[in-house]
Chains A and B, each alone.
Chain A
């Protein structure tokens, strides 16, 4: 083993805002890591965050955890790197975290150099790339054109190891990166030092969710030690253990293909990987391969407005209505749609979901069974907020009072709120599943340095 390249990366948790075991973090710091890396987001919570350029987690939670990590960084005196800052990694979300960083620096009397790596893509750049044939769709193929690109409120490119390395090369104490692959912040330094490429990407994937690849996921903190032949996984939580099983099974997590992982510049292939228990809590992995690609591509993500939404919820407890809920719901939907089409100008969709029957899986649920009560969730989506609200208000009296048959007393159902309509505002949709070819990794990214002091 070439000791000179050995690189220890400490990962406090799967994402900033998720929490971690403080003792585990401190144990990691005491083992003198070369870098602390943490993920700041993903697409997993839906398109709203990229659409609006905002964070899923509360500012207070982010500030509280980021403060602790900044203090841990100062103790260890090594770089602290966050990728996909502010959940979505859009430029606004990066600025948001930079702002929090400045506040913390002032409050804790720290002087730090921050490298700010932005992943936001100007529409023109992506349109030009599309026209030049430098954008390729991934499976499943989604058609795009100029108009789709122009309608995006945010487009980001996922930075890889090269862009994070550029940020580290500035000598910054902290790197705040916009959208990046989950693995890039972990892989950048080991790759720059000449650690085994296949082992580095594989170890980065195992580490990117923190202690999820161990027997005690909630302990959060994990150390991955990279070297010339592979990597070693060591959980920092006292009761957490990494086993060949927990480590190898982690390649399944959120990966549609458990054997290969695509990154800018190539892909990881783990089919040759060997997992060996060093003791009852550490695992060593060798044999993973990195396969470089002919062209350098970065994945794109984009979100655009998918209409405006207004929702309404009625609770039905009366047995006869519960028993006949599908008939009733269909009638409500039909009557409301007809009246709204007569009275309101503008397109809309109206959908009623029966909570307590099959709201989760719809008609695909073959084992749906009803209980003593159901909720009926009305969802109206329209091209304008006004139309969505008008249709939802048209739904209101049907949800409240519609009888099952014409010859019975008018029923009244439970509404939990007044007004019962809840305006959800703009909804967003992901509209890019593509990669963009670059001549130079930094071509689509911007890097600036901020001196932050108390």
Chain B
């Protein structure tokens, strides 16, 4: 099995304020970025995050070789059912996406 983390440089997630999470997929070079553009399919990413694809904002940024996703937090930061105050673990769901060709 090939995971998205295996074919990219670094994947991180973080709060963007109390109501949003943002995920950055960093690529080492242009070829890696081209592969990531396809592998990080918006539908699969939304499914892994458990959200609707219409809630997912996507930015393909060739200058910095980053695919970025932002989405409203499924659970608002710090409310009783929130598990991750800083939103750091959402990246793992994307890093572990099965992208076996």
* Residue ranges of A at the interface with B (Cβ–Cβ < 8 Å): 43-48, 139-140, 142, 245, 248-249, 252-259, 301, 306-307, 309, 349, 351, 353, 359-362, 364-367, 379, 381, 427-430, 433
Contact = CB atoms under 8 A, between A and B. Distances in A.
A271 to B, nearest CB: 10
Given A140-B19, A364-B49, A430-B19, A253 B14 contact: yes
Contacts of B76: 429-430
14 contacts: A43-B18, A140-B19, A245-B64, A248-B63, A252-B61, A254-B15, A258-B59, A306-B79, A307-B80, A351-B80, A360-B89, A429-B79, A430-B76, A433-B19
Contacts of A139: 72
A359 B70 CA distance: 23
Interface residues on B, range: 35 or more
A44 B63 CA distance: 28
Given A252-B22, A349-B80, A360-B92, 9 more contacts: A140-B72, A252-B61, A256-B17, A256-B57, A353-B83, A361-B92, A364-B49, A365-B93, A429-B78
Nearest to A427: B80
B84 interface: yes
Q: Which of A44, A253, A428 has the most CB of B within 10 A?
A: A44
A254 B22 contact: yes
B50 interface: yes
Contacts of B14: 253-254
Contacts of B50: 364
Contacts of B20: 140, 256
Q: Which of B15, B48, B86 has the most CB of A within 10 A?
A: B15
B78 A361 contact: no
Contacts of B15: 43-44, 254
A385 B15 CA distance: 29
A249 B64 contact: yes
A253 B23 CA distance: 9
Interface string B83-98: 1111001101100100
Nearest to B86: A44
Given A379-B80, A427-B80, A430-B77, A258 B89 contact: no
B8 interface: no
A256 B80 contact: no
Contacts of A46: 77-78, 85
A355 B93 CA distance: 17
Contacts of A381: 80
B32 interface: no
Contact of A47 (B18, B66, B70, B86): B18
Nearest to B24: A252
Contacts of B17: 43, 254, 256, 433
Interface string B1-42: 000000000000011111110101010000000000000000
Contacts of B92: 360-361, 365
A306 B80 CA distance: 8
Contact of A430 (B16, B72, B78): B78
Given A364-B49, A364-B50, A258 B61 contact: yes
A351 B82 CA distance: 11
Given A252-B68, A258-B61, A351-B81, A433 B18 contact: yes
A309 B64 contact: no
Interface string B38-73: 000000000011100000010101011010101010
A139 B54 CA distance: 13
Nearest to B82: A46
B85 A45 contact: yes
A259 B89 CA distance: 24
Contacts of A306: 78-80
A285 B26 CA distance: 22
- Top 5 A-B residue pairs of the complex, sorted by shortest distance between their CB atoms: A256-B70, A46-B78, A256-B16, A140-B72, A430-B18
B97 to A, nearest CB: 10
A142 B20 CA distance: 13
